[in-house]
Amino acid sequence: MTSQRVTSQGFMQQILSTFSSSNRKSAPGNLPLPHDGDEVAELSKKRQQAFIRAQRHSRAVFILRRLLPLLSLVCCLAFFATGKFSFEYKDIKASVEKIDVNKNELKMTNPRLEGHDKKAGSYLVTASTATQKSDSPYVLHLDTIDGKLDHPKNGTVLLKARKGVFNTKQEVLQLSGDLEIKAPNGMIAQLETAEITFKKQIITSDRPVYVQMESSTIRADRVHIDGVGKIVTFHDRVKVRLIKTPKRSSN
């Protein structure tokens, strides 16, 4: 009896195994049906891999943000270490003798800026130092400035100031501090501040101005100087003082 039970149990197992195998074969695509536990494990594995890739990308971006400015700085230092450097930007020629690189700015020694306009003539601006900040690459902060505006017909206007801000893109120079302008006709103007538009050779100031000429002095609150048209216009509280000049002898 014992052997018969074993045989019947084995027979039943054969039937069950045959039935289950036939069901697996009849599944679509002839593929085994996955279990829920396998799906969860596979999904968890994919999520972990995606998280690792995202971490690697974030680390790469973090490193590049700090590495690229450093590489640019190293390239600049290697390039400028050779000595005097000159370049051209549109109608502007510039040269410097030395460049020092700090955290967020470049400091240039003895910069020289030259520009030319077909109608207004040419100009030259020199300074003891020029500072360029990383967030405003077209703006130069100048110290101890000397400049001149040359016109083929009207002559040369000389200027000097302690400080200035030069916008290389607009070719506009803002001056302040012990500002003095000398015109070819002998006029000397002393101003608190002034703005020079080089393309038109126009000088304007909204601060008080004092002008000396051969036979008079003029004070005003504002002034507009047209270097091309040789016209000087004074505005607001204009005061003119005439100076007597000694008569020349007729010997």
49 and 124, same domain (yes or no): no
Distance CA 96, CA 80 (A): 10
Host domain of residue 75: 36-82
State residue 40's pLDDT score. 61
State residue 9's pLDDT score. 44
3-state SS string for 87-149: EEECCEEEEECEEEECCCEEEEECCEEEEEECCCEEEEEEEEEEEEECCCCCEEEEEEEEEEE
Arithmetic mean of pLDDT over the chain: 75
Res. 20: pLDDT tops 60: no
Give a yes or no: residue 15 inside a domain.
Answer: no
User: Nearest 5°: phi and psi at 135?
Assistant: -85, -5
The band of 228, judged by pLDDT with boundaries at 50, 70 and 90, is confident
State residue 146's pLDDT score. 95
Encoding tokens for residue 120? 């207004």
Cα angle value 179/183/185 (rounded, 5°): 150
171 and 136, same domain (yes or no): yes
Residue 18 neighbours by CB under 8 Å, 6+ apart: none
Return the CA Rg of the chain: 41
142 and 73, same domain (yes or no): no
Distance CA 33, CA 155 (A): 96
60 and 169, same domain (yes or no): no
112 and 231, same domain (yes or no): yes
**Which of 16-30, 86-100, 123-137, 187-201 has the lowest average pLDDT?**
16-30
Give a yes or no: residue 177 inside a domain.
Answer: yes
Between 152 and 72, name the one with better pLDDT: 152
Res. 61: pLDDT tops 60: no
Give pTM, 2 decimals: 0.61
Segment 53-57 mean pLDDT: 67
Distance CA 66, CA 69 (A): 6
40 and 112, same domain (yes or no): no
State residue 14's pLDDT score. 47
Q: Total domain count for the chain?
A: 2
Segment 109-123 mean pLDDT: 82
Most confident of 26-30, 83-87, 121-125, 171-175: 171-175
Q: How many helices (H) and strands (E) does the chain have?
A: 2, 16
**CATH number, domain with residue 237:** 2.60.450.10
132 and 42, same domain (yes or no): no
